[in-house]
Each structure stands twice: as structure tokens, then as C-alpha cells.
Amino acid sequence: MQNDVLKIRLVSLLQKYSCIRCKALIFSFALCLLTVSAKAQAYTILVWGDSLSAAYGIPAEQGWVALLGERLAGRNIQVVNRSISGETTYNGNARMPQSLADINPDLLILELGANDGLRGLDLGLMRQNLATIIQLAHDNDAEVLLLGMKIPPNYGRTYADSFHAIYLDLAAQYHIALVPFFLEPVVLNHDFMQHDGFHPTAAAQAEILDHVWPVLSALLPN
């Protein structure tokens, strides 16, 4: 957006001043401004998730997203966390267009679906909502990292298997990066899970980040 404003002002100045030397000086000055502006703009990661990324039950600064921000310190990369506890794919889809417009991320980390699955919601709609979010991100020139989830077979094995398959299918369809099971390193370790059995403890957050990091780091600028 800043670059667009500078370009408009450049055109206005070039139209105002007719001499060749003036135009050359204006163009050179504007080019310098555009270069400095481009370098100053940070690479932006938008984390779009539910309670698992919103640091539910623990201090926000101990959550894996906050730890990611600390790991990236000094790299001109900013991490914006818009995760909301209890979020479903429907709600995440509804919020997405405005947030894309406001934040204009370079990378979207999409971590949604667990609440759909735990509530036994329609998996066809869940897939459609996630697909729409991915397409919106791509339309906004943002890459996507999809964090997959698994759920217990409370609604039957077929439902649980179909739930997990959505993440694999969407990653293949849209050619996006995927962590197949976001909580894989912690979910079976009771020391890493809160008493509700669903949310990781503060001690688990570094394990989660380390699990996501190999896929995530490959997407980041040098």
C-alpha cells in the first residue's frame, strides 16, 4: 500500500514538472524511497487457529505462537496471532476476508478444524470452509501452511478417519505445506496435556513449535 501511494505521487510530480533534469531527479529520489520502503516492510506470518494456538489455559507469552515470535526475533519477520478459543472453520472463514485485508500476510498458518470434529459437525462443510480460507489466502498472494489434526473416534472410526483425511486431501489439492498432525509429539504424553485432555500445557509448547518448525522454516525468507 505504501508503495502504491509513492507511485501515485511520483506520477503527479512528473506531470507537474516538465524539464528533463527535474524529472530525472524526481524519478531517482522516488526510486530510492521505494527501495527503502520495500526493505523496511517485514515478512508477515498470520496464525489463524483455535484454542490450540491461542494459548488456552496458559499465559499467552508461553504459547507456541509467542515462542515462534521469539525464535524469529531479529529476522524482520513479524508474527500476528488471530487465533480464538472455540473457533470453528465456519467462524474462521467468516473472519478471514477482513483480516487478510487488514494484515496482508505473506504466510498463513491455518490451524482449524478441531472444534468441528469434537462437535461432530458436517465434514463436508468443514472441508469447504478450509478450502475457502486457503483460496482466499492464495488470492491475497499468501502462502499457506496447514496444520492437520486428528480426533478420537467418539463419533466412530469412519468419521475420525474422514476428518483427518481432509487435511491430507486439501494439502494435495492446493499444493500447500502440511504438518499432518499438529499435536503428534505431545498428545499421548500426560505430562504435556492439561487436565481436560485436549489442551497442551506450557511445557508442551516448545515441543509443538519444534514439530512445526522444519516445515515452517522451509517457507520463510532467508
Is residue 110, in this structure, part of any structural domain at all?
A: yes
Residue range 128-143, pLDDT digits in tens: 999 999 999 999 999 9
Is residue 94, in this structure, part of any structural domain at all?
A: yes
User: Catalytic: 196?
Assistant: yes
User: Catalytic: 199?
Assistant: yes
**How high is the pLDDT of residue 222?**
86
In a shared domain, residues 114 and 18: no
CATH code, domain with 134? 3.40.50.1110
Segment holding 144, helix H or strand E: strand 143-147
* Cα distance between residue 220 and residue 142, in whole Å: 12
Mean pLDDT of the 57-75 span: 97
Burial 133-165 (b: 16+ CB within 10 A, else e): bbebbeebebbbbbbbbbbeeebeeeebebbbe
Given the residues 51, 53, 83, 99, select the one marked as catalytic. 51
In a shared domain, residues 48 and 34: no
In a shared domain, residues 23 and 114: no
Given the residues 18, 175, 191, 196, select the one marked as catalytic. 196
In a shared domain, residues 29 and 52: no
Query: Domain span at residue 116?
Result: 43-217
Given the residues 99, 116, 199, 211, select the one marked as catalytic. 199
Q: What is the pTM of this model?
A: 0.83
Is residue 102, in this structure, part of any structural domain at all?
A: yes
